[in-house]
Structure 1
Amino acid sequence: MLAAVLYGQEHLQLEEVADPTPEPGEVVIRVGAATTCGTDLKVWRRGGHARMLKPPTLFGHEAAGQIVAIGAGVTGWQVGDRVVANNSAPCMTCFFCQKQEYSLCTDLSFNNGTFAEYLKIPAQIVKHNLYPIPEGLPDAIAAMTEPLACVLHGAARSNVKPGDRVVVLGDGAIGLMFAGELVRLGAEVFLFGGNEQRLQIGEQFGVAKTFNHHQQTDIPGTVKSFTEGWGADVVVEATGSPAVWEMAIASARPGATVNLFGGCPRDTTITVSTEQLHYCELTLKGVFHSTPHYVRSALELLASRSLPFELLISDHQPLKNLEQVFFDMRDRKVVKVAMIPA
């Protein structure tokens, strides 16, 4: 089969590799659509990921498709079932899983290789994070279950209450998903980004106001200008930049929650004012990944069609164009692209 293999920093090749065969407990799906992701872009640009993969490796982690082979011992599934598989599953037995803190599992089973004709799903994911696609939901939309699950997890950890003024920093797919979910939770959302087309998508998700950061010299000052000088009730950082992490903290009111969601490059640090943190009673949260509960919730939300997630799919492209798609993502010409094996 044709598959994408990541070898290092901006070094991606399409190669012919052996078709996968399921071991006991596993299934193999024919990929219907694999969506590109900001995490994939960061991994491609940085040449690796601290937790999820180490080159050389099959690449991509968002996909939906149809089961074509089933390993021994698998029950409840049939060849022909349309499914979406999360890119990981917790072990359910470690210290953190016993505390139901599944995103901190010490033995998360990650799976990569969605940019291919076929994808093998490990037994742990089959057992805990494989779901049927609701009838009528296109593969490209269902494939966004994984990033949306992370967003739902992040939103739930953000202490958002109806009527809160929430600032989202970042207009990538994750920032836009956050904006839509936070609006759904009853917040008044203010979205900061650097791309007018993406900010317009944010408006269609219902945000109260958008701001182009290229036209803002002082983002924390701007936030205070529409919050009576206090700052936002909740700030969500969705860029993965240490400088923006610090900006998020500076944009928060006393008593606020700051969700530092975007994953920064390894070994980076930020500076935090101990005076502000202590006397303003700030809550700073790093939120990582998702849990099976939020994977199920994400698929249900996508199937409800209550938010226009289809706006995040900028294009559909054949797998052979994958490298060019990543250059287009780097240049912010597209949000997400559905890669179609052909």
Structure 2
Amino acid sequence: MSPAAALSIERTPGNQFIEVVRPVPALAPGELLLGIETAGVCGTDIQIVKGMRSEAATVLGHEACCTVLGVGQRWAGRYAEGDRVAVNPTSSTDSGFLLGHSVDGVWSSHLLVTEHAVELGQVMPLPENLDPVLAVLVEPLACAIYSWSILRDAQVERVVVLGDGAVGRLVAWLDSLHLDSSAVVLAGRLDIEDERARAHVLRGMRGRTGVVIATPRDSTATCVSIALENAGDGSVIDIIGGIDPGPDPILQYAARVRAQNVCGRPSKPNMFNLEVGVPDAPRRVQITGHRGVSHEHFRDAAELLLARGDEVKDLITHVATPTEAVGALNGMAAGGARVLAGRRILKLVIDFRDGTTA
């Protein structure tokens, strides 16, 4: 493909995914042109693919490793062609900027970053020697770092992670670096449904526990209920995944609190307190949540992956061409399983390094 052409994976109005070739966008003085080396498919993306949530973007994706291909005149001296960068997908000051949701994302060989997004500081440097496949884990690991900062300040003694997708596994791995590994329990859907495994999970909630809920939004209510029924006195429930609150007043309040904690702000996150259990022996539990990550979380995640990325590289189960990715996405959109090449997808990376970013 000619360097003047850009390849995107685009979503049609009928929720099908197609490869589209367009001219590389022209660069204005205040913009940056990025070449996407690799892009990740996250759990939220899969919810959109399956029709579980609606977003405005035609091009999805917010996890990527990029190279600066063009620098608008305004940013000369701050960025240079060849810089390795990524885009922090959420802004703490502009709720209208949400990469891959409200604005087109990174499932494309090229991304034109607007002057406003550059002004917000969303284009972040990456270590030059960070593997571009591993680099798609920077943003989800930054989310795990955000979560740990909350649990650390709450002085939890143990952690139970509900949700064994890529984010949940990163949370469990990170928290195990700070606590004894025996004090961290990772539980997926099957662990909750199986009686013996469920008993092990619930035992992990005894005492002052951080319960991190990293599940799709349709499972959040069940997991919050489990945590409230079993978490010990002084525990903190941190909701990383989305919330579909419905009529439940606790979930409605949790959704409002989660929306107030954005990209590390405020520095002391909003929480709300509940007393649960029997009246003569109540348990005090705090509920919080957050969305987005700060630039500091993002930088810390990149450095940690550079230093210890080999420990989490197996989370990336598939590296696919755009054509292969389109087949998998359309299979999921049609109600199929999260499977590619006969293996369940945990983290799928789309590799755009075929000359289109040159």
Q: How does 1:315-330 map to 2 (within 5 A)?
A: 315-326=318-329, 327=331, 330=337
Q: Which has the higher contact order (CA 8 A, sep 6+)?
A: 2
TM-score (norm 2): 0.75
Shift in alpha-carbon separation, 1:167–1:294, aligned structure 2, 3 A: same
2:118 counterpart (126, 132, 138): 126
Cα distance in 1 between the residues matched to 2:313 and 2:169: 12
SS in 2 for 1:5: strand
Q: How does 1:51-200 map to 2 (within 5 A)?
A: 53-55=55-57, 57-75=58-76, 76-91=78-93, 105-108=94-97, 110=99, 111-127=103-119, 128-159=121-152, 164-186=157-179, 188-194=183-189
Q: Alpha-carbon deviation of 1:148?
A: 1.6
Deviations 1:125-162 (A, max 9, x none): 43413233213211111222222222211221234677
Deviations 1:206-231 (A, max 9, x none): xxxxxx33423783x5444456xx45
Cα distance in 1 between the residues matched to 2:51 and 2:223: 18
TM-score (norm 1): 0.78
Q: Alpha-carbon deviation of 1:294?
A: 0.9
Cα distance in 2 between the residues matched to 1:270 and 1:9: 32
SS in 2 for 1:305: helix
Is the contact made by 2:229 and 2:276 (CA closer than 8 Å) also made in structure 1?
A: no
Q: Alpha-carbon deviation of 1:174?
A: 0.6
The alignment-based identity, stated in percent, is 23
Q: Alpha-carbon deviation of 1:48?
A: 4.0
Q: Alpha-carbon deviation of 1:272?
A: 5.0
Range with bigger deviation, 35-44 or 143-152: 143-152
Is the contact made by 1:261 and 1:286 (CA closer than 8 Å) also made in structure 2?
A: yes
Is the contact made by 1:24 and 1:73 (CA closer than 8 Å) also made in structure 2?
A: yes
Range with bigger deviation, 34-43 or 307-316: 307-316
Is the contact made by 1:89 and 1:124 (CA closer than 8 Å) also made in structure 2?
A: no
Q: Gaps (5+ residues) in structure 2? A: 1-5, 252-273
What value does the CA root-mean-square deviation take over the aligned residues?
2.9
SS in 2 for 1:17: strand
SS in 1 for 2:232: strand
Q: How does 1:1-342 map to 2 (within 5 A)?
A: 1-7=6-12, 10-46=15-51, 48-49=53-54, 53-55=55-57, 57-75=58-76, 76-91=78-93, 105-108=94-97, 110=99, 111-127=103-119, 128-159=121-152, 164-186=157-179, 188-194=183-189, 212-216=191-195, 219=198, 221-225=199-203, 230=206, 233-240=209-216, 241=219, 242-265=221-244, 268-270=246-248, 272=250, 276=276, 279-305=282-308, 308-326=311-329, 327=331, 330-331=337-338, 333-341=344-352, 342=354
